[in-house]
Amino acid sequence: MSRAATDLCGIMAPPTGRTAVRGSPEGHVTHVQFLRIKKLTGKAIIEVAARHNCREILAELGAAPGSRIDPARVGLNRVLRGGETAAAVASQAQTLMDTAEVRPLKRTAVLALEIIFSLAPQSSIDHDIFFNESVRWAEQYFAVPVISAIVHNDEAAPHCHVLLLPLVDGRMIGSDLMGGRAKLQALQADFHTQVGQRHGLTRQAAQKRLSAATRKEAIDSAFDVLEANGGLSAAVLLALLVP
């Protein structure tokens, strides 16, 4: 089952970038803040997400090609909130929704928001303090149940998965809670003020949005190349290229 997701600011991997601090001792670097949020939709998606976070998917534990998980270090992972099994996490979510008498949801409803906080592999920040503060920030900022928070120390970059149940006054409002670009920028700014900057992290520079004319020019160029070489119809190419 796929995990439908909307990513924050297009960030797809833990941060490895670092920048020199002007006027600081030679070799001293500061790391960029990494916070990613996505919407989870689909039947049983909470348990599916929790199975990954609880390391219950055997194929991920070093056997699959490209797996970044070190099975020998799984025991170093820490549960900060919620159950230690995917079934327990999903059960808690269902109990909360049943207690709130949530009405039947559409197939496309957002059942959870997942936040990932991450540190660079070479970061000297105290992991325990940083991730505990990050989870507390999420609890206060969103003011909804945190049904799971798990720190992964079994990959190169230490990171923390947080699952939020977007339940407010008996309604599931995941899309509204996450919001659009303005809300996401405000979220990043607040996290940086409350947590990131206290640990010496910097904000990632905002990505410049391409103008409509530039986007059209890029699409037209791709269209011409694919039409000439790909053997696809114009209708198919338009469906693939036009946002």
Using DSSP, state whether 138 is helix, strand or coil.
helix
pLDDT digits (tens, 9 = 90+) for 129-159: 999 999 999 999 999 999 999 999 999 999 9
Confidence at residue 56, expressed as pLDDT on a 0 to 100 scale: 94
Q: pLDDT-derived band of residue 128, with 50, 70 and 90 as boundaries? A: very high
How many CB atoms within 10 Å of residue 154? 19
Which residues, in sequence order, are CB contacts of 226 under 8 Å at separation 6+? 232, 237, 241
Confidence at residue 57, expressed as pLDDT on a 0 to 100 scale: 87
Average pLDDT, the chain: 82
**pLDDT at residue 169 greater than cutoff 80:** yes
Q: Which of 51-55, 204-208, 234-238 shows the highest mean pLDDT?
A: 51-55
Averaged over 176-196, what is the pLDDT? 96
Confidence at residue 96, expressed as pLDDT on a 0 to 100 scale: 98
**pLDDT at residue 40 greater than cutoff 70:** yes
Considering only residues 44 and 59, tell me which one the structure prediction assigns the higher pLDDT. Answer: 44
CA distance 66 to 80: 28
Burial 193-214 (b: 16+ CB within 10 A, else e): eebbeebebbebeeeeeeeeee
Averaged over 216-241, what is the pLDDT? 57
Considering only residues 227 and 20, tell me which one the structure prediction assigns the higher pLDDT. Answer: 227
pLDDT digits (tens, 9 = 90+) for 68-105: 899 999 999 999 999 999 999 999 999 999 999 999 99
* Type of residue at 163: L
Angle subtended at Cα 35 by Cα 119 and Cα 170, rounded to the nearest 5 degrees: 135
Q: pTM for this structure?
A: 0.75
